[in-house]
Chains A and B, each alone.
Chain A
Amino acid sequence: MTSDMTPPLTPKKWIKVALSLFVAWHFYGIFTAVTGQSTSMIHPAPLPALQLARTTYWYQHLLFMHNAYRFYVPDPGPVQTLWFRLQYEGQHGRRVAYWYEVPRREDFFWRMSYQRYMSVTMLVQMMGPDPTDQTKLHPTSETLLSSYVRHVAHKFPRHPEVPEAGPLQRIELYLVSRTTYPTGYDIQRGLTLDDPRWYRPVYYASYTSSGQRVQLETSLQVLRDHLPTILTNFRDTSEFFSALFPLTAEVLLYDFRFRIEAGADRQSALRQINPPEPMRQLLRIVPEALDLAETRPVSPATYTELINVLHQMCGARRGLRLLEDDLLPLGVRPRVMPPETLPGSKPSPGSVEPSSPTPPFLVPDPKNNVPKPNNAFGRPAVP
């Protein structure tokens, strides 16, 4: 639109007055928006700010200027994602499952699309609990999750990998969060970012394809809800037990096993059930769990054994090496061993034989150069 009009250099008086009133009202609205929101459950907004914010809700929402601009507060992380377990009818009463993880980085070429999906999973879990029932999410979150389930049901009306599977029966929803992130010391001890034990999936609810919540049978409720909680809470905290272990054991014992019994080979079975990435990573670390799930009978004993195998093998293969500072509280100051004095390496010319033997808990594994933890000191620290 072209215009040859020359604008006046100063506005008329009534325009000045109107715009000044607008500025006052607008920034009052912004002020109430940024002060009337809680940072977290332990950092609630002050009551006067909440009451003032009520006077401008309509304006904040109309312009979508209700953000409090609190980026990475009170602390950065953790990230929350969602896992959906879609259950389809199978032959001979055997259900066929498909897992849908949201978001998964590999599914997106553009970063922006991934970020939008990340918002979908994070915003719904950031609203806190229901103020009248702390065991449930906020009513707005509940409504949104039902909508999410309808979306997923519409996206996968039939099993994407098993065409002969029947219609969708129900959708189970898991809220997944990273427990924490490793410090520099944790990484020096040998922990890595892609360690599956960082993830904590929590079963939330089951839904029909229309988004209605359904009550699980008591046995399943115990398996999904109570058992992981009991296992996680009543373990020694230094054992680094993850809620991912019981869930993976359940997936192997039912979803994976049923596909094997239906005639699929191992790779096909895994492709058909499409487990979330942390679960895949765990199975890459402990492939023996797949053998166990294929060969052992489906029983509570096998379930328990699977959990123990996942826990112990993962702990052994992702063991921690001790740092010098870890031993100082115990009054032990280990010698720092030069690389050429380690077992299996040739001594360099002119090197001096160590006067004392290498402490057993610092002897590295010659295969992967990761020291084997000693029972007394080498238990993995809880991150």
Chain B
Amino acid sequence: MWRALVQPLADYFRNLSQFFKLGWDRFWFAPCDPTTIAVIRIFTGTILVYTHFVTISITRDLIGAHAWVDLQAINAIHSGDHLKEVRERNPRLADEMPRPSFFSVYYYLPQEDWLILAVHSFFLVAMIAFTLGWWTRLSNFLAWLGHLSYITRGFTTWFGLDTVILMLSFYLLFTNSGATLSLDSLFREWRRRFWTPARGYDWRELLLAPAPPSWSANFATRLIQVHMCIIYACAGLAKLQGGTWWAGTAVWITMMTEEFTPLDFQWLAHLGRHTWWWLSAILTAFTLFLEIGFPFLIWTRFWRPILLFMAVLLHGGIGVIMGLGSFQVAMLTGCAAFISPEGWRWFLATLLQHKEPTDGNRVSGHPRHQGERIPVPA
């Protein structure tokens, strides 16, 4: 009797575990076209290069020997010496206080400005190579290490952009993001077709040559997708603690933050007695809906295009209002992980006026899977 009663339950859990295992496998390890990852690489690299290039003039102030935060302060914080007074008053509290344990290449360099600038320039070159997809695996690692070292050495010079860019460049380490749309793939295709002059040397064809599907591309894409959902969920849910987000005036205050905003929005107040509040309330509700709804709705086929369009509006709007253009491009780069490789291929082919071969969505260049249809992550 007991066996008969327990059996359905056991079957249920066995089926559940098998279903979970299959779903887990399919979610993380199904092979896919690496075009999406390649697009993310190009945007991530471009932001990295821009970020480091435009701050060259203040590099010494940020990571030099006499930077805003010098090594003397960082060593004191890492070792816990700065908690000496707290320890005298409350030893237990001092032990419980978190102590940062950041890593930076610059911590171990002799504090000479010329040497620091030379290492910084080396990382900048690696970032350019990463953007172009040249020696992509190595340049990806160096670009990530360079940016990590830069912001941990600066210690208090980072903001949201840096965490998003670091996240993207870290996840790209799990795959070969230069498999397509890169100098690596361009050279590879060029070498492969060198002996077949009949095909010609159209650079667009070489650049857009389909890469073999890869499970690691899917794995990296999934990591980015899940992390983007966490970012939006945290940003949206934490806003519910603030009174202005409930009152609908948060976006107005953001517009009035003259330290950030590049434009003067005071004229909006004169459009009507309460118009500014209506406008702010609508934009505030829009922000909350997108940020809280994104982690749940983005996985459905119906809502995905709508949410991505809303994300473009939101981040474009923040870029205009707050002047944080690079940060918003970084967020949209993360959102690009939700666009299928087929979508990106169509977009790029249309942009470059290149006619894709009819088997463009099928495996090419893979001996065992030649001609198979490339699966697209849901």
A interface with B by C-beta (< 8 Å): 1-4, 6-11, 16, 19-20, 23, 26-27, 30-31, 34, 39-40, 43, 53-54, 57-58, 61-65, 67-77, 79, 81, 105, 110-113, 115-120, 123-124, 130-133, 139-140, 142-144, 146-148, 150-151, 154-155, 178, 181-185, 187-188, 192-194, 323, 325
The answer to whether A112 and B156 touch across the interface, beta carbons within 8 angstroms, is no
B117 within 8 A of A: no
The answer to whether B166 and A65 touch across the interface, beta carbons within 8 angstroms, is yes
Residue in contact with A20 in the complex, picked from B24, B73, B97, B213, CB distance below 8 Å: B24
Which residues of the partner chain A approach B259 to less than 8 Å between Cβ atoms? 79, 81, 105, 118, 178
Which residues of the partner chain A approach B235 to less than 8 Å between Cβ atoms? 69-71, 73
Query: In the bound complex, what is the Cα–Cα distance between A40 and B231 (angstroms)?
Result: 19
The answer to whether A113 and B269 touch across the interface, beta carbons within 8 angstroms, is no
The answer to whether B58 and A113 touch across the interface, beta carbons within 8 angstroms, is yes
B interface with A by C-beta (< 8 Å): 24-25, 28-29, 31, 50-51, 54-55, 57-58, 61-62, 66-70, 72-73, 76-77, 82-83, 85-86, 89-90, 93, 97-103, 134-138, 148, 151-152, 154-163, 166-167, 170, 176, 178, 184, 187-188, 191, 212-216, 219, 223, 226-227, 230-231, 234-235, 238-239, 241-245, 249-250, 252-254, 256-260, 262, 264, 266, 268-270, 273-277, 280, 323-326, 365-369
Query: In the bound complex, what is the Cα–Cα distance between A67 and B97 (angstroms)?
Result: 17
Which residues of the partner chain B approach A120 to less than 8 Å between Cβ atoms? 68, 156-157
10 contacts between A and B (CB under 8 A): A11-B215, A19-B29, A53-B98, A57-B98, A74-B241, A115-B161, A118-B260, A139-B82, A154-B66, A183-B252
Which residues of the partner chain A approach B239 to less than 8 Å between Cβ atoms? 72-74
The answer to whether A188 and B101 touch across the interface, beta carbons within 8 angstroms, is no
Which residues of the partner chain B approach A154 to less than 8 Å between Cβ atoms? 66
Query: In the bound complex, what is the Cα–Cα distance between A64 and B367 (angstroms)?
Result: 41
The answer to whether B82 and A62 touch across the interface, beta carbons within 8 angstroms, is no
Query: In the bound complex, what is the Cα–Cα distance between A258 and B285 (angstroms)?
Result: 55
The answer to whether B250 and A76 touch across the interface, beta carbons within 8 angstroms, is yes
Which residues of the partner chain A approach B187 to less than 8 Å between Cβ atoms? 2
Q: SS class of chain B's interface: helix, strand, loop or mixed?
A: helix
Closest B residue to A8 using CB positions: B215
Query: In the bound complex, what is the Cα–Cα distance between A151 and B24 (angstroms)?
Result: 52
The answer to whether A63 and B369 touch across the interface, beta carbons within 8 angstroms, is no
Which residues of the partner chain A approach B170 to less than 8 Å between Cβ atoms? 63, 65
Query: In the bound complex, what is the Cα–Cα distance between A321 and B56 (angstroms)?
Result: 48
Which residues of the partner chain A approach B249 to less than 8 Å between Cβ atoms? 183
Query: In the bound complex, what is the Cα–Cα distance between A71 and B54 (angstroms)?
Result: 24
The answer to whether B61 and A151 touch across the interface, beta carbons within 8 angstroms, is yes
Query: In the bound complex, what is the Cα–Cα distance between A16 and B134 (angstroms)?
Result: 28
> Apart from A116-B157, A144-B155, what are 10 other A-B pairs with CB-CB below 8 Å?
A2-B187, A6-B212, A6-B365, A71-B235, A112-B54, A119-B158, A120-B156, A131-B86, A144-B77, A155-B61
Closest B residue to A40 using CB positions: B241
**A291: shortest Cβ distance to chain B, in Å?**
30
Closest B residue to A80 using CB positions: B259
> Given that A1-B136, A118-B259 are known contacts, is A64 also in contact with B151, CB under 8 Å in the complex?
yes
Which residues of the partner chain B approach A43 to less than 8 Å between Cβ atoms? 241
Query: In the bound complex, what is the Cα–Cα distance between A133 and B275 (angstroms)?
Result: 46
| List of 6 A-B pairs having minimum Cβ-Cβ separation, nearest first | A184-B276, A74-B242, A147-B73, A187-B269, A184-B269, A181-B256
**A208: shortest Cβ distance to chain B, in Å?**
14
**A305: shortest Cβ distance to chain B, in Å?**
31
The answer to whether A63 and B155 touch across the interface, beta carbons within 8 angstroms, is no
Closest A residue to B245 using CB positions: A75
Query: In the bound complex, what is the Cα–Cα distance between A349 and B43 (angstroms)?
Result: 64
**B277: shortest Cβ distance to chain A, in Å?**
6
Residue in contact with B25 in the complex, picked from A16, A58, A74, A193, CB distance below 8 Å: A16
The answer to whether B55 and A112 touch across the interface, beta carbons within 8 angstroms, is yes
Closest A residue to B161 using CB positions: A115
> Given that A10-B29, A132-B86, A150-B66 are known contacts, is A1 also in contact with B212, CB under 8 Å in the complex?
no
Which residues of the partner chain B approach A31 to less than 8 Å between Cβ atoms? 230
Residue in contact with A76 in the complex, picked from B178, B212, B253, CB distance below 8 Å: B253
The answer to whether B270 and A115 touch across the interface, beta carbons within 8 angstroms, is no
Query: In the bound complex, what is the Cα–Cα distance between A8 and B176 (angstroms)?
Result: 13
The answer to whether A76 and B213 touch across the interface, beta carbons within 8 angstroms, is no
Query: In the bound complex, what is the Cα–Cα distance between A81 and B245 (angstroms)?
Result: 24
The answer to whether B268 and A184 touch across the interface, beta carbons within 8 angstroms, is yes
Query: In the bound complex, what is the Cα–Cα distance between A146 and B273 (angstroms)?
Result: 48
The answer to whether B152 and A7 touch across the interface, beta carbons within 8 angstroms, is no
The answer to whether A148 and B250 touch across the interface, beta carbons within 8 angstroms, is no
Residue in contact with A64 in the complex, picked from B28, B152, B213, CB distance below 8 Å: B152
Which residues of the partner chain B approach A115 to less than 8 Å between Cβ atoms? 159, 161, 324
**B201: shortest Cβ distance to chain A, in Å?**
17
* Residue from B57, B135, B241 with most neighbouring chain A CB atoms (10 Å): B241
**B18: shortest Cβ distance to chain A, in Å?**
15
The answer to whether A193 and B70 touch across the interface, beta carbons within 8 angstroms, is no
**B234: shortest Cβ distance to chain A, in Å?**
4
The answer to whether A3 and B68 touch across the interface, beta carbons within 8 angstroms, is no
**A72: shortest Cβ distance to chain B, in Å?**
7
Closest B residue to A142 using CB positions: B82
The answer to whether B212 and A7 touch across the interface, beta carbons within 8 angstroms, is yes
